[in-house]
Amino acid sequence: MSELCSSKLGTKEHWDSVYNTEVENFVDHGEEGEIWFGEDSVDKMVTWASIVSCMAFIKVLDETMRITIQVIDLGCGNGHLLFRLEDLGFVNLTGVDYSKESINLSQKIGSSHTPPSKASFACLDILNLDDISGAVHASTMDHRIRYTLALDKGTLDAISLCEKTGEKSPADTYVETVAAMIKPGGVLLLTSCNWTEAEILDRFKAGTIHVKDGSSHSLFEFMDRIKYPVFKFGGAVGQTITSVALRRL
């Protein structure tokens, strides 16, 4: 499928600068920083994780789900999404971001809560297979864990703007590395402002794993979508953001 042109929004230097400023603003003024795509998208993702995923994973509503389910936020930014889930009773929460300043901000915000947040945060480049295998950060992120629920709010968008340096696009590498972090039957809940649902499904269905007999199968399948208000223009119908749930096969 077609790729987006690279942009400074796809560079680590840009995000280090952004989060360095947000750390300073939090320390000086208590401002927790920007919420990507607005609070409404967070509300919808949190509601989906709290209710819909509960029904899908254990068939019936059970409060123990919030204790046992292992959640990772891919590109956690200021940690806001995880803090919202923590308020609802989720406890096994991990946030990762390749910007150290993002992790610094998340930890400072979490420590300021009453009581302090117990969410874990680690500086991790999810496109780096050495990081994923636990070569670094093993003390803060158990690399043996494969997560039940992975959340992405804008991270694939930023990765899609990274400059291509190898045979595969950064976005295609993302599909493979994220698949390695999610246990079979687990779910990726992804929110994007750059890609339509059809484009997201095409990319994830194209991601395959090869098995010993020489055959291959897809890494993900469509599970659910979150509905947002739609608009019409020039005979076409669309929406400003898309949220899709994909089940790991």
Confidence grade of residue 211 (pLDDT, cut at 50, 70, 90): very low
pLDDT: which is higher, 143 or 19: 19
Each residue of 5-15: pLDDT tens digit? 555 555 667 76
**What is the full DSSP assignment across 165-225?**
-SSS-HHHHHHHHHHHHEEEEEEEEEEESSS-HHHHHHHHHH-EEE-TTS-EEESEEEEEE
Residues present in the chain in total: 249
Q: Are 197 and 225 in contact (CB under 8 A)?
A: yes
Read out DSSP for 114-139?
SSPP--EEEE--TT-HHHHTTSS-TT
Q: Which two tokens stand for residue 115?
A: 């009581």
pLDDT (tens digit, 9 = 90+) per residue, 140-179?
445 456 898 999 999 999 898 876 776 778 888 899 889 9
Helix or strand or coil: residue 81?
Answer: helix
Domains, the chain, in order of start with CATH, read: 39-168 (3.40.50.150)
Residue 9: per-residue pLDDT: 58
**Hey, what are 161's tokens?**
């703007």
What is d(CA 121, CA 204) in angstroms, rounded to the nearest whole number? 26
Band (pLDDT 50/70/90 cuts) for residue 132 is: low
Cis peptide leading into 115, omega within 30 of 0? yes
What pLDDT sits at residue 215?
56
Interval 63-91: pLDDT, tens:
556 557 889 999 999 999 999 999 988 88
Q: Which band of pLDDT confidence, cut at 50, 70 and 90, is reported for residue 137? A: very low
- Model confidence at 119: pLDDT above 90: yes
Helix (H/G/I), strand (E/B), else coil: 1: coil
pLDDT at site 108: 95
| Angle, alpha carbons 102-108-112 (nearest 5°) | 145
At residue 84, the pLDDT reads 94
Highest mean pLDDT among 50-64, 127-141, 153-167, 184-198: 184-198
Residues 36-42: what's their mean pLDDT?
Answer: 72
pLDDT at 4 over 80: no
Compute the CA torsion angle 158, 247, 88, 146 (nearest 10 deg): -80
Task: Please give the model's pTM, rounded to 2 decimal places.
Answer: 0.80
Question: What is the spatial distance between Cα 42 and Cα 23, in angstroms, rounded to a whole number?
Answer: 21
Rounded average pLDDT over 203-213? 63
What's the pLDDT band for 197 if we cut at 50, 70, 90?
A: very high
